C-alpha cells in the first residue's frame, strides 16, 4: 500500500553508513526527510506531527531545495518494533 504525506519539510539529512548484518558489507546511509504536518484538534489546539522518512537516491534532488516548503511525498510504510516507519517511493 502507498500513501501521500503532505507537510512542510523541516530538514533533510544523510544517515550514517551501516554494516549489513547478514553480509558484513558496509552500505551507504540513506537520505532522510523530516516533514511536519500541522493539524487542528477537536478542542481547537494545534498539533504538529513529525514524520521521518527515507527517500530513494534518485529523488534527493526533488527535495534538497524545498526546506521550509510544503510538499507531498508518496510513500509506503511498515511496522518495526511497534513503530510505523515511512519510506518515500
- Block means of pLDDT (10 residues each) for the chain, length 89 residues? 89 93 94 94 95 90 92 90 84
Domain boundaries of the chain, sorted by first residue: 3-15+29-88
Q: How far apart are CA 8 and CA 25, in angstroms?
A: 35
pLDDT for the residue 78: 85
pLDDT for the residue 66: 94
The pTM score is 0.76
Superfamily of domain 3-15+29-88: Nucleic acid-binding proteins (2.40.50.140)
Closest CA to 75 of 39, 51, 50: 51
pLDDT for the residue 89: 82
pLDDT for the residue 34: 95
pLDDT for the residue 86: 81
Amino acid at each position: 500500500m502507498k500513501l501521500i504525506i503532505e507537510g512542510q519539510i523541516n530538514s533533510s539529512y544523510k544517515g550514517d553508513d551501516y554494516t549489513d548484518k547478514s553480509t558484513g558489507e558496509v552500505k551507504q546511509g540513506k537520505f532522510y526527510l523530516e516533514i511536519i504536518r500541522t493539524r487542528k484538534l477537536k478542542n481547537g489546539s494545534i498539533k504538529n506531527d513529525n514524520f521521518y522518512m527515507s527517500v530513494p537516491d534518485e529523488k534527493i534532488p526533488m527535495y534538497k531545495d524545498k526546506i521550509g516548503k510544503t510538499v507531498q511525498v508518496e510513500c509506503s510504510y511498515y511496522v518495526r518494533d511497534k513503530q510505523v516507519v515511512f519510506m518515500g517511493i
